[in-house]
Every structure is written in structure tokens, then in C-alpha cells.
Amino acid sequence: MSVYLDNAATTKPCEPAVSAVFQNMVEDFGNPSSLHKMGLSAENNMTDARKAIAAALVCDPKCITFTSGATEANNTIILGAAKNYGKRNRKKIVVSAIEHPSVAEPIKYLEDSGEYTVVRIMSDRNGVIDPDDFIKAVDNDTFLVSCMLVNNETGAINPVKKIFSYVKRNFPECITHCDAVQGFMKIPIKSADIFADTIVVSGHKVHAVKGVGAMFIKNGVRIAPLVHGGGQEKGLRSGTEAVPLIAGFGAAVRALMGTMKTAYSNAETINAYLVKSLSKLDFVKINSKQENNSPYILNFSVEGIRSEIMLHYLESKEIYVSSGSACSKGAHSSVLTAMGISDKLADSAIRVSICRTTTVGEIDVLVNAIRDGYANLAKTK
């Protein structure tokens, strides 16, 4: 029995998404910029997908721009905002210190240029950004504020609305940006309610296929494009659109829309069962906090067993999870460090990320394998 519990990395494409991709590859394969019937059909399928993403974010479809994924979208918004808003004395960026690399790296690129100042806000011991720390750092020199909605390592949900509402009230010209990849289609997101000027989402995290993402850019916000060419996507992202992938993204979102509440409730049940089962193992420490946390992600440590060792043991049993330490060349997770978790436990961290089809039976298989793995691996130390 194969058990896939790495859904924060990528999800299995759903049947409606696969069907839409196939149809737009073999039937509606025209270029959406072409002025004939085949082109119009492709354009209409893109329009339907745009409406689906907009409905999920409760915004005007004209505010949705398709990209190759969240990484391109985050880079476009951050670098494009710097070009249009980072001028004169406004050279400051305030960002959470727990962002995904697709946010952290373009901001570091701007910082390394020597033209911009970056203030990074650490999380508290619950893995959540303290809104007061964030608010204190924003001033008249700040042109960009960025805070992710759901942390990809621990599932911690950040108080984005409180942070962004303060910023827009006191510094209305400052751009508020939210990487919502791990929250999209899991928790309700209304662009206006969280006071976000820009939002990024990804297709392959919501049962669409890889290679497509989208960015919400509020009407009136000016983001300079990274890619220049034929002027597709309102000039924000030139290049012939990947219609099959876009259509699949739209189909996946439409398929999930009506069942988000039920899926969330199921995720809460599965998460609680996982926590209860792991808590019976005295060598396991739960890192994710139960308050203000997405039930779709759980981070825990198997004491004394390095992440990659346990990960590959589970893989040998056809159980697929990921390392929760997010290490790079020996660097420890800044998220787990900020939470007061020791380097030793961080080195043993595992991230389990479930989806709407995860079952209690699959959790039993995982927990039994962790128990057996610890017994076997501890002997070899």
C-alpha cells in the first residue's frame, strides 16, 4: 500500500484537471491570441479559468494574471514593485523571516544590490509572526510588506489581515504582498478582507498540474513586468499562454470550491488523529502548535533519528513524507529555531502534509512504520 503524505510539496492532479489539460492539448489547442475560431476557443477556456481563480479569491477576474508558477509570480511582484515603488527615499522592505525561498530570495537579491534595506521579522515560539513586531518595523520609508498566509514547514497561520490592515491604514502607498500558496483552496481567502494588494497561488498545490500559477494584483497597483514580448496577460507576462495548464488549474479550483468546508473538517479530524497517534510514541515530539495552525500540515521530530534517515526508511515502505528542517548545506530551519526547537530536534524533523482524500488507515500505516523504523534505526546508531 503506497501512502502519499507530501501534499505541501505537490498534489495528485484531480480528474477534472487532467481532463481539461487533455482537451486543451488535443482539441482546443489553438493559440489564444489567434483571431480565428480555434484561437477564440482557447481564449474562452482561459477566461473560464481566470473566473474560477477570481471566484476563489473573491476578486475581479481582470486582476488575475497567469504565470508558470508561484516562483515566477512572487519574483514578478517583488521585483516589479521595487521598480515602480522603490524610489527616492522609499527603499525599505519588511518581510517575515519564515518566507518560502521564492519570496526570500528575490528580496535578498534586492538587498544585495545595496539599494534596499530589508527588515526580517522572526516568528514567535508558536511559529507565528507577531503582528506588533511587524507593525513596529513599517514606516514612511517602506514600499513593500510581505507576509505568507500559511507556513509551508509547520502550517502556522499568520495574522496577515491584522498586519496588512494596519499598513494600508497608515501607509496606503505601501504594497502589501501575500504568498498564499499553502492556504489557497484550504482556508477561505478574500483579497479585500485581508487588505492584500497582491496575492500568489499555485496550481500543483491544489490538485492541478505543475507549471502554472497565478497572481492577484489589485486594480490600480502598478507592477513592472519581468518578461517582455507580445504583451499577453495585459503586458504583465508576455509569451503564449500555457492554455492546457491554465484550463486544468481552473478545472481543479472549480472542483474544489464547493467542498472546502467539508475538506477542512476532514483535515481537522485526520490531523487530530495523527497527533493523538504520534503522542503515544514517547520518542516523538510534535513541533506544530495546535492553535492558529492549518490542519493540512503537521511537523514533528523523531528524536535521535535524522530526518533523511527516517524519510528514506519510510520511502522503503512506500510511505512518502518530507524533511521538516528545510536544511540547505547544513543550515537549520529558521522557523524551528525561532520556535525554540533545538538543532538536534530540527535535524530530526518530519513534515506530514495531508489532502482531502487522506484516510485514518493511511495515518495508521505511517505511525506503525515510524514505530518500526525507530526500533530498527535506533539499533544501528
User: What's the grid cell of residue 167?
Assistant: 499598513
Residue 325's pLDDT is what? 45
| Residues marked as catalytic | 327
Domain boundary at 201, 230, 257, which?
A: 257
Query: Smallest Cα–Cα separation from 198: which of 166, 182, 183, 220?
Result: 220
Helix axes 243-257, 37-57, angle to 10 degrees: 40
What is the reported pTM?
A: 0.94
Residue 60's pLDDT is what? 97
Residue 378's pLDDT is what? 79
Residue 59's pLDDT is what? 97
Q: State the amino acid at position 253 in one-letter form.
A: V
Question: How many Å apart are CA 332 and CA 329, to the nearest integer?
Answer: 9
User: What's the grid cell of residue 12?
Assistant: 495528485
Question: Can you give the CATH number for the domain in which 221 is found?
Answer: 3.40.640.10
Residues 170 and 79 both lie in one domain? yes
Residue 7, in any domain of the structure: no
- To 5 degrees, how large is the angle CA 251–CA 62–CA 238? 85
Residues 316 and 272 both lie in one domain? yes
Residue 362's pLDDT is what? 98
Cβ–Cβ < 8 Å for 178, 199: yes
Residue 125's pLDDT is what? 86
Residue 58, in any domain of the structure: yes
Domain boundary at 210, 232, 257, which?
A: 257
Expressed as residue numbers, the domain containing 341 is: 259-379
Cβ–Cβ < 8 Å for 322, 350: yes
Domain boundary at 197, 228, 257, which?
A: 257
User: What's the grid cell of residue 260?
Assistant: 472546502
Cβ–Cβ < 8 Å for 201, 53: yes
Pairing mode of beta strands 64-67, 213-217: antiparallel
Q: What are the pLDDT tens digits along the chain (381 aa)?
A: 899 999 999 999 999 999 999 999 998 898 887 889 888 899 999 999 999 999 999 999 999 999 999 999 999 999 999 999 998 779 999 999 999 999 999 999 999 999 999 999 999 888 999 999 999 999 999 999 999 999 999 999 999 999 999 999 999 999 999 999 999 999 999 999 999 999 999 999 999 999 999 999 999 999 999 999 999 889 899 998 999 999 999 999 999 999 999 999 999 999 999 999 999 999 999 999 888 899 999 999 999 999 999 999 999 999 999 986 444 444 678 788 878 889 899 999 999 999 999 999 999 999 999 999 999 887 665
Residues 19 and 114 both lie in one domain? yes
Residues 20 and 158 both lie in one domain? yes
Question: What is the torsional sign of CA 298, 303, 309, 310?
Answer: negative
Residue 329's pLDDT is what? 45
Could you tell me where the beta strands, DSSP code E, fall in 203-330?
213-217, 284-286, 297-302, 319-320, 322-323
Length of the chain: 381
CA dihedral 112, 116, 117, 118 (to 10 degrees): -70
User: What's the grid cell of residue 360?
Assistant: 485514518
Instruction: Identify the DSSP state of 293.
Output: B
Residues 154 and 208 both lie in one domain? yes
Question: How many Å apart are CA 11 and CA 22, to the nearest integer?
Answer: 18
